[in-house]
Structure 1
């Protein structure tokens, strides 16, 4: 059997891979048409790689109108609207002119950021072309199913995810708690942490704006409970609403500030008619909304990291979160906020009431949040990804060379004595 190994894998000294610029092919289900946490991280990564003279080609579904200006070179792949969540697209694989562009690019590494059919197609091509593939874990698809009456598919999804992630050299989880869960579920033979950073020059307590609060009808004495994120069921919106109604019925002084857009906005406005909805915000406007709040409330059980929680921490807010992956790596119970059993609405309400009624402790926890956020620096985090890439390539090359040597040793030709 013939084994094709890229020429540089054998000919070039392995140490050479440590110095030269790399060519990375990145595959994502969304790169520029919906702004969310994974997309922010991937665009940050591509921007950093290009600053380091890396050559990056991104393959993703696109829409007629991009939501924002993306980093790097983007190749559109065929796609269709995702059933039940039409704002997202489902990639239909790699073929035709898209495959030709990918082949001509001659990547050193495939970074697959989505385990859908686009990711599966990329994984198959990586195997066929003998290119190392790594994957980053962004979405807990198996936890979404219960919100869309599809729990029947959970076993199949988990089985497929095991196959997919175990086929990659590395799997990058955004935090320790998510990495532990992946490893515990046998999803990935080498699970590593690719954390997230926060821009503290934008997100910080100095962005608090009393005038802005007043334009929204918020007085100096009002305690603002903030929520930031996509307005979708899997963000824990039912628990959020039930908790707020619980404290409303007990006359606890508060204002609700909801930042974000999504398919559940209309229903959420009907359920929380007193809440203030700002719609989608970004940059300084988003930073102002965080810092002008007093408590950050994130009841999502589906986070893989929690970018919004980190931004709230950098803005000096105490955080009330679900005791689940992502939040568990950011919030230390009783130090910079509280972690609550995910579906325990009475405990959420009691804890939120305690936070509202205790300004001194709220301030102390907010200061702790701000200090803890200083650990999350984008430059050092993204630089570690380049090291991970190089290590993945090196280990793959060594494995291919070992396999080739083993095959050669099994096919030693017999020696014929010409004198016989």
Structure 2
């Protein structure tokens, strides 16, 4: 099958959309499919032998390293030249809308993957864009031939926007990379020289992730906070958390080692459609505390494979983290259950599900000619 992937973000950017697309492209290629990636630039022009078409872009205010794709004739020209059976719209907002318009003109069906709750994120900022954003996103997804969502919460969000033909499609996790065996006791001793339990956040340091809530954990008895990642909120966090360890951006085995060396993983954001870092923490054998809203609700069985705090109760987040810090046996039990939950959720298995969705809507060569 021939698939054009139009994505709002791709390498060298590191985020949930970029990482998901990268894994999908790699698995599709190994499976013998022909893939084309269309992404905002600048960046590499190929990935694992797959051509990457770079289109015009502009930097997002406040995120100078995050380009937003602009209308570009190169997109439709290169898509037509590639002649895809299906177009995959990865978290369509700006470039995704352009890609959808091109696909419609070419008569190619689209599978739209809803991955980013931009409406929820926008509510963390003072520019009140939630209503027009909702209308824009609803319009894109109503025009797609099939919509994929990662969680029950995101399915409900699209349903509220009048979107039909919605199917659940989650994310894979690299079980070969994220594994309890990556735990590094020497690193643990370096980060916690007095034997504290390590409580860690991993992800983009941005206000829409509500990372300021990490301040609630700054003085949990018997713990030390570790912050893995980078972003525009980092300077503010460093002022709020002078006793925390800030590692900056990590990747590959360094990231896996950091995950596995934690004792408790915590997530702060309430607008996550999935929350991939929860899966990576579970695969790493680390007890998880996450918000009881959005994507984490599908990933964590409260009290069994993690803890879900109540965002509307300010003391709930800290209380769950403090309870796990104080109870190593409970941490181990929850970590083991979390690890069992993600067993089998490899990217190969998940992309296999994705191909079934492609098959359901794809145009075969004879149909294209007709």
Measured against the shorter chain, the TM-score band is over 0.9
**Counterpart residue number, 1:388:** 357
Q: For residues 378-403 of structure 1, what are the alpha-carbon distances to aligned partners after superposition, in whole Å with 9 as ceiling and x for unaligned?
A: 211111111110101269x99x99xx
Query: What is the TM-score with the length of structure 2 in the denominator?
Result: 0.93
* Greater Rg by CA: 1
Please state if 1:102 is matched with 2:79.
yes
Q: Does 1:37 align with 2:16?
A: yes
| Structure 1 position 117 matched with structure 2 position 117 | no
Q: 1:114: Cα distance to partner?
A: 3.6
**Candidates 23, 29, 36, aligned match of 1:50:** 29
Structure-2 change in CA distance of 1:182 and 1:146 (3 Å): same
Which of 153, 177, 184 is residue 153 of structure 2 equivalent to?
177
Whole-Å Cα distance in 2 between the matches of residues 394 and 180 of structure 1?
A: 29
Query: Among 220, 229, 237, which residue is 2:203 paired with?
Result: 229
Residue 269 of structure 1: how far off its partner (Å): 0.7
Question: Which residue, out of 111, 129, 132, partners 2:106?
Answer: 129
3-state DSSP of counterpart to 1:148: coil
CA gap of 1:208–1:228, structure 2 versus 1, over 3 A, is: same
> What TM-score, normalized by structure 1, do the two folds share?
0.83
- RMSD over aligned CA atoms reads 2.3
Instruction: Measure the CA separation in 1 of the matches of 2:174 and 2:45.
Output: 21
Match of 1:244 in 2: 217
Partner in structure 2 of residue 316 of structure 1: 285
Is 1:43–1:71's contact at 8 Å kept on the other side of the alignment? Answer: no
CA contact (8 A) 1:34 1:67 kept: no
Contact 1:32/1:70, CA 8 A, preserved across alignment: no
* 1:190 pairs with 2:165: yes
Residue ranges of structure 2 left out of the alignment (5+ in a row): none
Structure ranking higher in strand proportion? 2
Residues 375 and 54 of structure 1: CA distance in aligned 2, closer, same or farther (over 3 Å): closer
Deviation at 1:117, TM superposition (A): 3.3
Structure-2 separation of matches of 1:185 and 1:316: 37
CA contact (8 A) 2:9 2:40 kept: yes
Runs of 4 or more off by more than 6 Å in structure 1? none
Instruction: Give ranges in structure 1 of 5+ residues lacking alignment.
Output: 1-21, 405-420
1:76 aligns with 2:86: no
